[in-house]
Amino acid sequence: QVQVVESGGGSVQTGGSLRLSCAASGNIGSRYSMGWFRQAPGKEREGVAAIYAGDGSTYYADSVKGRFTISQSNAKNTRYLQMNSLKPEDTAMYYCAAFLKVDWSDSPAIFDPQRWAYWGQGTQVTVSS
């Protein structure tokens, strides 16, 4: 049994910052990739950022490059998404995903939700103008 829990969502004004946290527990080990996705009402779930536990490589959606940073704790069981310069279009439910089922080198698949094994319940981020 694996549990993935997100925290840190909230409401901010345009230009503000938030930091999301994600922790996985259970039978998952310590070396696994983790990703952040988001889903706005009426839209499909989209990948935002991902991090590879092996060497800390990161992968970002073009829409968040330069504004969002994904990182991991030294223990590698907690990942963070630092979100700066937030925009109203960043408003969405943010989901953490753990354990990428494909090779990290297959980068187009990293943001395919079907390629991730475990999901959290989501945390809401609202950015007002």
Give CA angle at 79 (1, 42), nearest 5°. 80
Task: Answer whether residue 28 shows pLDDT above 90.
Answer: no
- For position 53, what pLDDT does the model report? 82
Query: CA-to-CA distance for 53 and 104, rounded, in angstroms?
Result: 10
Tokens 């963070």 belong to which residue? 80
Asked if 100 contacts 35 with a C-beta cutoff of 8 angstroms, the reply is yes
Position with higher pLDDT, 27 vs 66: 66
Position with higher pLDDT, 110 vs 53: 110
The predicted-structure confidence for 77-109, as pLDDT tens digits, reads as follows: 789 999 999 999 999 999 999 998 888 887 888
Task: Answer whether residue 76 shows pLDDT above 70.
Answer: no
- For position 11, what pLDDT does the model report? 98
The predicted-structure confidence for 45-63, as pLDDT tens digits, reads as follows: 999 999 998 888 999 999 9
- State how beta strands 10-13 and 123-128 pair: parallel
Asked if 35 contacts 103 with a C-beta cutoff of 8 angstroms, the reply is no
Q: Which tokens belong to 49?
A: 């950022």
Residues linked to residue 92 through DSSP beta bridges, in sequence order: 125
Query: CA-to-CA distance for 61 and 103, rounded, in angstroms?
Result: 18
